[in-house]
């Protein structure tokens, strides 16, 4: 009974494991396509989270300036209402 030798049984076991892994990388829930989509979504989530943190920090600074009646915030509000520069202002455009 050469078929029931330990070497043959081990080879069959690894062949079935290999077939199982190949099948699930193509048709499984977390296949290669889903893995790549997951990586892309994770990058997008991290980028949006950093943008949200930056916006929250900017908003906190603006609110703090507003509550303390600092001139910077009042000047910012006046510039938002009137977008045209005054005579004494110089606009520098950075690319």
Asked whether residue 46 carries a pLDDT value surpassing 80, the answer given is yes
**Could you tell me which residues come within 8 angstroms of residue 65 by beta carbon, excluding any fewer than 6 positions away?**
72, 73, 76
pLDDT digits (tens, 9 = 90+) for 20-29: 888 888 887 7
Separation between Cα atoms, residue 86 and residue 78, nearest integer Å? 11
pTM of the model: 0.44
Let me know: does 62 contact 73? Beta carbons within 8 Å. Answer: yes
Residue 66: Cβ-neighbour burial (10 angstroms; 0-12, 13-18, 19+): middle
Provide the 10 A C-beta neighbour count for residue 31. Answer: 14
């Amino acid at each position: 009974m050469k078929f029931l030798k330990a070497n043959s049984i081990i080879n069959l076991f690894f062949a079935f494991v290999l077939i199982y892994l190949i099948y699930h990388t193509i048709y499984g829930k977390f296949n290669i396509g889903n893995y790549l989509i997951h990586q892309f979504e994770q990058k997008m989530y991290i980028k949006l989270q950093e943008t949200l943190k930056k916006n929250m920090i900017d908003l906190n600074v603006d609110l703090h300036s507003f509550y303390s009646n600092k001139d910077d915030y009042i000047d910012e509000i006046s510039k938002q209402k009137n977008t045209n520069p005054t005579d004494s202002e110089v606009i520098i455009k950075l690319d």
